[in-house]
Chains A and B, each alone.
Chain A
Amino acid sequence: MQVQAKKTEEYFIKNEPFYQPVADEIQIFEAAYQQKLPVLLKGPTGCGKTRFMEHMAWRLKKPLITVSCHDDLTASDLVGRYLIQGGNTIWVDGPLARAVRTGAICYLDEIVEARKDTMVVIHPLADDRRVLPMEKLGEILEADNDFCLSISYNPGYQSVLKDLKQSTRQRFVALEFDYPSAELETAIIAKETGIEKEVAANLVKFANMTRNLKGSGLEEGASTRLLVHAAKLMHIGIVPTTACHSAISQALTDDNDMLIAVNELCSSVF
């Protein structure tokens, strides 16, 4: 098999990623894109934010450059830095600079995880200036017309340290994501994995039970992504309770009592 390596800005998504719209998020995103407004995706983990971005990149036929933010992500990691090659220094663009240059969609996933000083470098890009100052080069990079910035953020973490600053959040068009309604979620799981609707419906019922437990023992309920994992396991013949145990319960918690309770809930449904 031949593996092809492509630069991120040249990588286009060819096949339509399956995305089931819940409301009018696609239209809003398209409108924001046209008007060159940056977009903020809010929502709990695994509810389809990243999939939505992939879908939009496919729809708009633009490359998608995704940066997963972590707590050591510095501004240079986004903008770029000098590297030494032989006896010379060369400048290497960071992913954000590359997107700005080439007119790609830059998606900063879980932006709050990044260092506080990192977040401000996106500010000039996220208002009507649409420029990226590159301090070390002494240059200002003007964004290509096709460039689009979007960030995601999970308001569920109620830690003060992980809050999005007002100066950042007030620059974005915000789209709120949540777990889809039971029927829609059932349809999504059935479509994504190929399991029968009834089984998918039971999975969703079980997921809603774990979501009921949010706040009274669980930090988060089972996400649509976890359900998809479990459904994929079931699809190739793993017993439902076992699949849920491995793909959902264990992923949700380490607390023993909670684990037993979640498994009991699971075995009640199937």
Chain B
Amino acid sequence: MNSKKSLLAEEILKRLDIYLDVEFTFYHNEKHAEILADLPLTQQQYILAWVQRTASTHHELGYQFMVHIVDILKEIDSKTIEAWALHAMDAYDVKGLYPALEVIRNVNNFLQLSHEKEAGAVLEDESAVLLHFVHGLSGRKLKLEEAEQPYTDTETIFLPALVAQLENKKENFKLYKVMVAYCWAQARFGTYRINLDDEVKKSKHPEKFIALFHAVETLRLEHCLARELPGLYRQLCEIKSKLDNSLLDSQWQAINIQLGAKESTVNDTLRIVNEYLTKLEPFTPYCYQGLLKPELTAKVIQDRIDDEKKQLKNILRKLQDEFDEGKETASPQKIKSKERFDLKDIKEHNSEQDFTVELTLDGQPIAPPDNAKNLMSSILQDLGKIPDDYLVAAGDGEYDPDFFEEKEQDPDEVWKGIYHEDGAFLYNEWDFKRQNYRKNWCAVREKAVKPIYDNFVSNTMSKHRKLIKHLRKTFEAMRDDNKLLKRQTNGDEIDIDAYVEALADTSDGSEMTERLYMQMQRHERNIAVCFMVDMSGSTKGWINDAEREALILLCESLESLGDRYAIYGFSGMARKRCEIYTIKEFDDFYDDEVKARISGIEPKDYTRMGFAIRHLNKKLLDVEAKTRILITISDGKPDDYDSYRGEYGIEDTRRALVETRREGIHPYCITIDSTAKDYLPHMYGAAAYTVIDEIRELPLKVSDIYRRLTT
């Protein structure tokens, strides 16, 4: 039974010294090793494993973890230990070493928080539902973000990361919902339709002013909510009865009654506030009330108003142009007159009505596109009406066709300014030492390959003329055409052969068969394939040439086959600069531009593979197909500038491929690395890769492999 015995202090020390790299870090582990030596073996192993995992992130983190774990071991269960360690490592990933150490040191804080989390609602978990919820409520599509206190700037609703005032998760979620609805009501029922910021600044007692305004406006919005969302209002009252002193004194009650009128607006609130500014104290804020940030909001609104005016005018211009195109003989007077657009209010607007109006052009009603509808509703929310000068189509000077292009950030721009992750896709990455994901670790951007119009394509075509002919033939043969199924129980036409036989059968007394019809059955190859091409620096030279030639041949073959395919290159440098190069998207035709892009493929930086696989998985899943295949063409191991090399890179790639298969996509790898047999089976599985010894054969082989793969 020796094996069940606990480890001795020396053995533990030896291991700790290795994990924490004492040779360089000079930690003193003796004392802790002795404490650990008293524990049973399973617990020792458990702790050592976690020290190793945390130390793989940072030695200091591992060390501090060990120091603290021995103190609190008795108090917490293993699940909490794991959560604690992972939380610390996540903090390290996001904020760096010191915040992570803070998590480790403040273990008690973490414990308390985790108890709260058990009963509380966590924004991270609930945000998906809350976001759908707020989008469902009418009006501008608000965003959700995290902040200390709930508030809104009329574009984003900020919510605390955790709500735990009430006894259980369900109740706390309700509180979240009420917070969201209250913030939505501010945007929807025009809290900011007056310039609150100016009012505050004008006031002699700005702080008092804003507190009182907030209190009065809260009462008004409660009335709005009660009318608009009675079910929610009931829940709001329920929560208030638990957390707040919801009884108003007589003075407040009188105000409350005033605000209950259906037509009361923010101006009434303002009037009351000015009237009572010195006479009345605001009541204790309700639990869902949060903050008002007039200054911040004023800026957001001003930016939006300017932007939306411009946008609307541009859209109207486009509408007008389209309208005029339809009838060429638009009378010249009309073109001169500026006010061609008009609004026909279906009803008088007040805050209760939906924000819909009918737009007319030259007196005729026209249906505005969805974006214009949203825009007008947003403008109505801000201003309560659409001013006349908004309804003049943009003149030539203002007209900016770029408005209709989707605004996408140029990936290169990001690097010119201060670094940020705006507009990038974020993907997790697997850290095998930690046995967990590093969250949102890779910032991935899509870039376009610069097309090069040279004679590479035509050269390749003439060089491989015979091969292409051969490939086309074989690929055409793979095309499944419609099949005529004979002897069916039903179908479009009578199967004469079957019928003759059947008649013969009946004449000698056998039973007549029912299978007398022919049916045309359609066969569709429903395959979508995505090629992921290594564009790392190591492909420079003839590997790159071979890759490009292979792609040309492949495209020629696939065009004759009719499968849907896309081609992307990948490369990058470190985790913040992962790049996917678009060569051909699924919807692109194989035209001169695509050919020029293939010709323009050039070696870039390093081979980080995990992010590319994850990103292309997503692309593949967006395509409707029965079979989805992801084929990687590479020249070596995953490898990047930072720690992404050796086992780490291989393990992350393997993990990404596991995800691929879990989604029902078939991964396959074609490589020219002769040592690939050492690691590819581990990543792709024994049968899902091919090593090509001779680079010159790549163009031929790729098409050939594809043919074998899909038949």
Q: A269 to B230, Cβ gap below 8 A?
A: yes
Q: Which residue of B lies closest to A75 (CB)?
A: B492
CA distance A182 to B130 in the complex (A): 25
Q: Which of A182, A208, A265, A270 contacts B133 (CB 8 A)?
A: A265
Cβ–Cβ contact A216 & B354, under 8 A: no
Residue pair A212, B231 in contact (C-beta under 8 Å): no
Which segment, of B33-41, B134-142, B420-428, faces chain A? Answer: B134-142
In the complex, are the beta carbons of B128 and A213 less than 8 A apart? Answer: no
| Also in contact, A261 and B132, with CB within 8 A (given A208-B354, A212-B138) | yes
Within the assembled complex, what's the spacing in Å between the Cα atoms of A251 and B53? 46
* CB < 8 Å neighbour of B136 from A74, A182, A257, A261: A261
Partner of B494, one of A89, A210, A216, A267: A89
Taking the complex as formed, is A242 at the interface, i.e. its CB lies under 8 A from any CB of chain B?
no
**A258 proximal to B (CB < 8 A):** yes
Are B493's CB and A81's CB within 8 A?
yes
Check A104 for interface membership: any CB of B closer than 8 A: no
A21 within 8 A of B: no
A144 in the interface, Cβ–Cβ < 8 Å? Answer: no
Number of interface residues of A (CB under 8 A): 33
Query: Are A87 and B503 in touch, CB under 8 angstroms?
Result: yes
CB distance from A25 to the nearest CB of B (A): 15
Task: Judge whether A28 is part of the interface by a CB distance below 8 angstroms.
Answer: no
- A74-B492, A84-B494, A84-B499 as given contacts; A210 in contact with B136, CB under 8 Å: yes
Given contacts A209-B138, A213-B136, A261-B133, contact A269 B492 (CB under 8 A): no
B33 to chain A, nearest CB (A): 48
A269 B136 Cβ-Cβ under 8 A: no
Contacting pair B136 A260 (CB below 8 A): no
Q: If A268-B181, A268-B229 touch, does A262 touch B520 (CB 8 Å cutoff)?
A: no
- Contact of A16 with B by CB under 8 A: no
Which residues of the partner chain B approach A265 to less than 8 Å between Cβ atoms? Answer: 133, 136-137
Q: Give per-residue flags for B117-132: 1 if the beta carbon is below 8 A from chain A beta carbons, else 0.
A: 0000000000011111
> Which of B130, B141, B231, B354 lies in contact with A270, CB distance below 8 A?
B231
Kindly report which residue of chain B lies nearest to residue A83, judged by CB atoms.
B494
Proximity string of chain A (127-149) to chain B, C-beta cutoff 8 Å, 1 when within and 0 when not: 00000000010000000000000
Q: Across the interface, which residues of A come within 8 angstroms of B230, CB to CB?
A: 269-270
A20 at the interface (CB under 8 A from B): no
Tell me the interface secondary structure of chain B in the complex. helix
Distance in angstroms between the alpha carbons of A177 and B173 in the assembled complex? 39
Q: A258–B492 contact, CB under 8 A?
A: no
Contact B129 A208 (CB under 8 A): no
Q: A82-B494, A87-B506 given as contacts; is B136 within 8 A of A262 (CB)?
A: yes
| Partner among B129, B137, B516 whose Cβ is within 8 Å of the Cβ of A209 | B137
Given A89-B494, A262-B132, A265-B136 in contact, is the A84-B516 Cβ separation under 8 Å? Answer: yes
Number of B residues with CB within 8 Å of any CB on chain A: 30
B141 to A216, Cβ gap below 8 A?
A: yes
How far is B346's CA from A183's CA once the two chains are assembled, in angstroms?
12
Asked if B637 is at the interface of the complex by the 8 Å CB criterion, the answer is no
CB distance from A85 to the nearest CB of B (A): 11
B177 contacts partner chain A, Cβ-Cβ < 8 Å: yes
- B522 (CB) vs chain A CBs: closest residue: A115
Greatest chain A CB density within 10 A among B138, B231, B520 is at B231
- A196: CB under 8 A from chain B? no
Q: Does B166 contact A (CB under 8 A)?
A: no
Contact residues of A: prevailing secondary structure: helix
Residue picked from B131, B135, B181, B232, most chain A C-beta under 10 Å: B135
CB neighbours of A216 from chain B (8 A): 132, 135, 141
Kindly list chain B residues whose C-beta atoms are within 8 Å of the C-beta of A30.
none
Q: B488-529: which have CB < 8 Å to A?
A: 492-494, 499, 503, 506, 516, 520, 522
CB <8 Å contact, B493 and A209: no
Within 8 A of B (CB), among A204-219: 208-210, 212-213, 216-217
Interface flag for A76 (CB, 8 Å)? yes
Are A182 and B135 in contact (CB-based, < 8 A)?
no
CA distance in complex: A257, B230 (Å):
23
> What string of 1s and 0s marks CB contacts (under 8 Å) between A104-135 and chain B?
00000000000100000000000000000000
A213–B232 contact, CB under 8 A?
A: no
Pairwise interchain contact B132-A258, C-beta atoms closer than 8 A: yes
In whole angstroms, what is the CA distance A160 to B132 when docked? Answer: 27
List B contacts of A270 (CB < 8 A): 230-231
- Taking a contact as CB atoms under 8 Å apart, the answer to whether A264 and B177 are in contact is yes
Closest CB in chain B relative to A238 CB, distance in Å: 16
Most chain B CB within 10 A, of A159, A213, A257, is at A257
Chain B residues lying within 8 Å of A241, measured Cβ to Cβ, are 231
Q: How far is the CA of A210 from the CA of B133 in the complex (A)?
A: 9
Q: Which single residue of chain B is at the shortest CB-CB distance from A241?
A: B231
B494 touches A213 (CB 8 A): no
> Smallest distance from the beta carbon of A138 to chain B beta carbons, Å?
14
Q: Complex Cα distance A87/B133, Å?
A: 66
Q: How far is the CA of A182 from the CA of B133 in the complex (A)?
A: 20
A115–B519 Cα gap in the complex (Å)?
A: 14
In the complex the two chains form, what is the Cα distance from A102 to B132 in whole Å? 51
Provide 14 A-B residue pairs closer than 8 Å at the C-beta atoms, listed in order of the A residue: A82-B494, A84-B516, A212-B136, A212-B138, A213-B136, A261-B129, A261-B130, A261-B132, A261-B133, A262-B132, A264-B133, A265-B133, A268-B232, A270-B231
**What 5 pairs across the A-B complex have the smallest Cβ distances?**
A261-B132, A268-B232, A209-B136, A76-B492, A268-B229
Residues of chain A having any CB pair with chain B under 8 Å: 74-76, 81-82, 84, 87, 89, 115, 136, 159, 181-182, 208-210, 212-213, 216-217, 241, 257-258, 260-262, 264-270
| Besides the known contacts A136-B493, A182-B354, 6 further A-B residue pairs in the complex with CB atoms under 8 A apart | A74-B520, A82-B493, A217-B135, A264-B129, A264-B177, A268-B229
